[in-house]
Structure 1
Amino acid sequence: MSHLRLKATLVGLALCCLHAPPGWADVGGSYGDDGATVRMNEEETAALPTTAQVAGSTVRYVYDFRVHCDQSAAGAVENNCRAAIMACDGTNGPGPLTDVLRREVSAAGVAGPWRLIGTTCYPPASIRPQVTLTMIRNAFHLTPWAKPVVDTQPAGNVTLVNLKTYYRIVWSTDGFQPGEVNVIDPTTMLGHRVEIRPRAQSYSYNFGDGQSSGPTMSEGGVYPTGDVVHRYPKAGQYVVSVTTTWSADFRVDGGAWAPIPDSVVVPGPDTTVTVKAARGVLVNE
């Protein structure tokens, strides 16, 4: 496991050149000197002590904050690793998950070893800004979605009473369809390349006569294999639409894809389906 080192100054204490501590805790917690899991809240992070009495002498505490990163398959440290981003969902702090390290400096200026004393989702503002899950969620909600337009068979959105009518989704050319990648403006992501890849989580079809189908993963189809079908019991004009529940994956700076823990429901445009009554007519030939 590798970590991106980020320098920070806490309450005016200058940090010197650092050496990696002997071990790092897994994402989701860290270990203090007593072996207990420590996840610091905002108040605890802001109130870290600067001095302590050790063996009758006053020692100074110096802190370092490092983004808690995982390691890619190639062995390179990801600058904005997904594990650190995913660990802080906004409700427990803006993130990313950051390791809090501390060392003691004696009155004579002798510095002790670095110790990992905890993690926090409230990193000091003085460290280099990082992409957060909140930023990614906001970008996800601003995605210009492609519109799922309803198309029916028989063709022309005209059908007959009690005739099995097949429905399918035809995506608009504007916006992002499932599987397409939206590259977010780097100026809104602190200069990083953030990509969002939408996924259709489900579709709900409204047939306009009080009946519906879904949620389903099916985009429908045509005769004879289409699996979204409906029969209208009487003639008339019916306003049909599809509502899509979207989810998405994201990645930062070409790293591994990870799911965004969120979804958004987007109604599609209306399509009018005309249902006609068919009747038999005797003709004299």
Structure 2
Amino acid sequence: MTTEYSGAEIGGLVGDDGSGGDGLGPLYVYRLRQPCGLVEERGDVCNALDFQACPADPGRVVEYLTVQQRPVVRTDGTAAVEMPAGAQPGDLLEDWIDLRTECLDITALNPPPSPEEVFSYFQRLPLPQLTTRHAPPGAGLSGLPVVFWTDSPTTQTFTVDIRGFTVVIAAEAQQYTWRTGDPAMPTLTSTEPGAPYPDQAAEHLYRSGTYTAGLTVTWGATFTVDGSAPADVPGTTTTNGPPVTFDVVEATAVLTNPYD
């Protein structure tokens, strides 16, 4: 971890925002470093003393870090230490100095993912494309409904890393929109995936012809962050299943002699 912050951003961590209180900018800037990284940077080898587990309440981010401080040239061209010739406002002076190494609550610097941030990830997940099933399985008959359902999985769980947080997104199909391929009634909707007759999700009467149907699924989700209580993802996304093409034929009455 080699992130640098201004004094104001981590003032709560060090008890001092680094400013002189006169509106001319900070006297110092700070950065947080992992102790092991500092040890290796200085040519030594990390050992157990360079690591420490830090307990944290749910939703909090607590890490074992070293706070470092360095003087900076202020907006009026002054600094807390002697400046070299030609120093400009914003230039860093001298070397980084270790202030302390301890468990620090850095939640404010790296807040847990917001619902809106999780939603942006949810929209990009590889959600399954549900397959359309229909009956009769071959050609349908004009005047006899073609029934639709899907037997594809309607839930899926994803684990994603968002800025170091483990976010588990549990997606579930919420609405099924059956694209009939018939301009007379382009779509049918249901809230259940259905099953073969008589538990189908939707049905449609077709005239004779060739049709291509498909299924659009609207997905919702809940999420957890580092084992937190589940929360709703604030939005939905959709997937389109593969199309299925079938014929609908006109049944023709044929007179037969029952005595033959």
What is aligned with 1:260? Answer: 233
Alignment equivalent of 2:205, drawn from 227, 231, 234 = 231
Distance 1:213 1:135 in 2: 32
| Cα gap change, 1:153 to 1:12, in 2 (>3 Å) | closer
Alignment equivalent of 1:10, drawn from 8, 11, 35 = 8
User: Taking structure 2 as the reference length, what is the TM-score of the superposition?
Assistant: 0.57
What is aligned with 1:167? Answer: 148
Distance 1:9 1:126 in 2: 14
Cα RMSD of the aligned pairs, angstroms, is 3.3
Deviation of residue 126 (structure 1)?
A: 7.9
What is aligned with 1:64? Answer: none
What is aligned with 2:159? Answer: 183
Aligned-residue identity in percent: 25
The reply to whether residue 205 of structure 1 matches residue 178 of structure 2 is yes
Q: Which has the larger radius of gyration?
A: 2
Deviation of residue 281 (structure 1)?
A: 1.8
C-alpha contact 2:190 2:201 (8 A) present in aligned 1: no
What is aligned with 2:127? Answer: 145
What is aligned with 2:67? Answer: none
Distance 2:208 2:6 in 1: 72
- Deviation digits for residues 18-77 of structure 1 (CA, Å, limit 9, x no counterpart): 9xxxxxxxxxxxxxxxxxxxxxxxxxxxxxx9859xxxxxxxxxxxxxxxxxxxxxxx82
| Cα gap change, 1:15 to 1:80, in 2 (>3 Å) | closer
What is aligned with 1:84? Answer: none
Distance 1:50 1:261 in 2: 43
Deviation of residue 260 (structure 1)?
A: 0.6
Distance 2:229 2:164 in 1: 18
User: Taking structure 1 as the reference length, what is the TM-score of the superposition?
Assistant: 0.53
Consecutive unaligned residues of structure 2, counting only runs of 5 or more, are 23-55, 62-105
| Cα gap change, 1:50 to 1:274, in 2 (>3 Å) | farther
Deviation of residue 167 (structure 1)?
A: 0.7
1:129-140 matches, cutoff 5 A: 130-140=112-122
Aligned residues between the structures:
174
Deviation of residue 178 (structure 1)?
A: 3.2
Distance 1:79 1:8 in 2: 24
The reply to whether residue 247 of structure 1 matches residue 220 of structure 2 is yes
Distance 1:271 1:208 in 2: 10
C-alpha contact 2:135 2:148 (8 A) present in aligned 1: yes
| Cα gap change, 1:253 to 1:178, in 2 (>3 Å) | farther
